[in-house]
Amino acid sequence: MTMQRWTWRSAAGLLAALTLGLAPWAAARAELRVVACEPEWAALTTELAGALAQVYSATTAQQDPHQVQARPSLIAAVRRADLLVCTGAELEAGWLPLLQRQAGNPAIQPGRPGLFEAAAQVELLGVPARLDRADGDVHAAGNPHIQTDPRRIARVAAALARRLAELDPPHAADYERRHADFAQRWQAAITRWERSAAPLKGLPIVVQHQGFPYLEQWLGLRQVAALEPKPGLEPSSAHLQAVLATLQREPARLILRAAYNDGRGSMWLAERTRLPVVALPYTVGGSEAARDLFGLFDDTLARLLKAVQP
Ligand SMILES: [Zn+2]
């Protein structure tokens, strides 16, 4: 089953559930019921739990994870979940608290082991020195888009494996073994990605949303300007003119956007600067090739390298 349109990992289980008129969980024989807020954490949970968990992703790669509708099927899934795996750092502040209240499931409330926050496991970038929400900044807790750095995903994986074992003690050894296997394959992949990414070091870029600081830090990309001065808000024409002026002084090589971003801002800039727009999958399911976490970074690197080919 592809991750493009993530629903239930087990189509057979879903079919059985529909036939019986039961909630999908009821038909599942898996031990843990996991709802992931974003596709990357659904994919990571599947790497670590395999058949030991039924994993449901609240969002797809085509959705803006800052803004999600708490549709009835999502509320139903959270109501029965043993574990919520979310980014945290306020990425889901606009929809998760409401979802937690509506679901009325004590296991996944703040402070309980049934709520796992990936961003709490790693060092965050972009933590504002001065907190002023009047700026319209939705990244007041630091930048939450950590999934663009595979080294941070490795740290999240170790913590998530421990949490799975804590919630499902009879299978603790399985999670440990699966994590060790994943960690080894992941580290080998990071080494391979870093070797291939050498031509990207120092590359000046423009970003659509402040969504790539971790990718920039990992690969040594240099962000010259951002099209969305305030995350999630349409850039004003005054801001777009300022970005153009910046690029005249300090030229960039490409414009970066996520699969879910509205492409109009980057198209506007591309027409005026003749810079290529590179749409990155950004998460699992964000492109045909980004079918799992390994594919996500294979494709991210391939797209960046293709754009800078001489
Ligand atoms: Zn954001």
* Ligand 1 centroid distance, CA of 37 (Å): 14
* Ligand 1 centroid distance, CA of 227 (Å): 13
* Residue 42 DSSP one-character state: H
Which is nearest to 151 in space by CA: 177, 186, 119, 116? Answer: 186
Residue 3 predicted with pLDDT over 50: no
Which is nearest to 89 in space by CA: 160, 165, 38? Answer: 38
Distance of alpha carbon 172 from alpha carbon 51, whole angstroms: 14
* Ligand 1 centroid distance, CA of 66 (Å): 7
Task: Read off the amino acid at residue 283.
Answer: T
* Ligand 1 centroid distance, CA of 50 (Å): 29
Asked whether 108 and 84 are in contact (CB, 8 A), the reply is yes
Which is nearest to 266 in space by CA: 308, 228, 220? Answer: 228
Q: pLDDT, tens digit, for every residue of 172-204? A: 999 999 999 999 999 999 999 999 999 999 999
Note the pLDDT of residue 281: 98
* Residue 149 DSSP one-character state: -
Distance of alpha carbon 287 from alpha carbon 309, whole angstroms: 21
Q: pLDDT, tens digit, for every residue of 54-104? A: 999 999 999 999 889 889 999 999 999 999 999 999 999 999 999 999 999
User: Would you state the torsion angle of the CA atoms of residues 297, 299, 301, 306, taken in this order, to the nearest 10 degrees?
Assistant: 180
* Residue 297 DSSP one-character state: H
Q: pLDDT, tens digit, for every residue of 124-175? A: 998 887 766 555 556 888 999 999 999 999 999 999 999 999 999 999 999 9
Q: Record the tokens describing residue 188, joined without a space.
A: 């080998």
Q: pLDDT, tens digit, for every residue of 252-286? A: 999 999 999 888 888 999 999 999 999 999 999 99
Mean pLDDT of 93-118: 96
Note the pLDDT of residue 30: 60
Residues above pLDDT 90, as percent of the chain:
74
Asked whether 76 and 273 are in contact (CB, 8 A), the reply is no
Distance of alpha carbon 199 from alpha carbon 308, whole angstroms: 8
* Ligand 1 centroid distance, CA of 142 (Å): 10
Note the pLDDT of residue 236: 84
* Ligand 1 centroid distance, CA of 29 (Å): 36
* Ligand 1 centroid distance, CA of 30 (Å): 33
Which residues are near ligand 1, the ion (C-beta closer than 5 Å)?
231
* Ligand 1 centroid distance, CA of 117 (Å): 16
Distance of alpha carbon 52 from alpha carbon 163, whole angstroms: 13
- Which band of pLDDT confidence, cut at 50, 70 and 90, is reported for residue 1? very low
* Ligand 1 centroid distance, CA of 123 (Å): 16
Which is nearest to 47 in space by CA: 59, 58, 55? Answer: 55
